[in-house]
Chains A and B, each alone.
Chain A
Amino acid sequence: KNQVEQSPQSLIILEGKNCTLQCNYTVSPFSNLRWYKQDTGRGPVSLTIMTFSENTKSNGRYTATLDADTKQSSLHITASQLSDSASYICVVRASNSGYALNFGKGTSLLVTP
């Protein structure tokens, strides 16, 4: 069964600090992995997308890593800002799944002053 597990479920950090969110998946055969940021009551916004051959991808203060052998990904946020407070969702697509995406339950991040 294709599954995407994220940890931690929630996280509180001080403004300016760094943090790392984890995503483990069992989706197979693997096609790609996305990290989305979703503000409360808004649609998800794509941060990064990685395919099998990509190990690291950055988008400003966001850096995602992918280890396709261990089926793990992480999202590192550097120098956090109050506006980073949101839910971060890991989404994995299987190459034989047609239009289906496998969503993690998200990590809820709160950045405090």
Chain B
Amino acid sequence: DTEVTQTPKHLVMGMTNKKSLKCEQHMGHRAMYWYKQKAKKPPELMFVYSYEKLSINESVPSRFSPECPNSSLLNLHLHALQPEDSALYLCASSQGAGTDYGYTFGSGTRLTVV
């Protein structure tokens, strides 16, 4: 298995809703990432998990809450989002421990906040 799987593919949520994005990989990668990508812009790094511990938080608002329950799974919990948070959310993984070997992106979740 050489894929990063993200679910759901599309999500529409209200500003008072709580929802979660899920990311899964079975490549044995120990680094996992969340990116946010607005239309016609490059991806922006949000969070990095290394060996299931949060190692980088790029000053992301607290309405985004990441979680890494195990080495294969990464979640992004969403609460009280704003319309400007509408974007494509990408998960990625790599071998980890300071190397980007095998860096692989998922297909993304298209999030719309109404």
Contacts and interface: CB of A to CB of B under 8 A. Distances in A.
Contacts of A44: 43, 90, 105
Interface of B: 4, 6, 31, 33, 40-43, 45, 48, 50, 55-56, 88, 90, 92, 94, 98, 100, 103-108, 110
Contacts of A101: 45, 100, 103
Contacts of B108: 41-43
B57 to A, nearest CB: 12
A103 B35 CA distance: 12
A34 B88 contact: no
B42 A43 contact: no
A41 B98 contact: no
B106 A99 contact: no
Interface residues of A, number: 21
Given A43-B107, A108-B40, 10 more contacts: A32-B100, A41-B88, A44-B105, A89-B42, A99-B31, A99-B55, A101-B45, A104-B42, A105-B42, A106-B40
Contacts of A104: 42
A104 B41 CA distance: 9
A41 B110 contact: yes
A38 B106 CA distance: 11
B41 A46 contact: no
A98 B106 contact: no
Given A89-B42, A106-B42, A46 B104 contact: yes
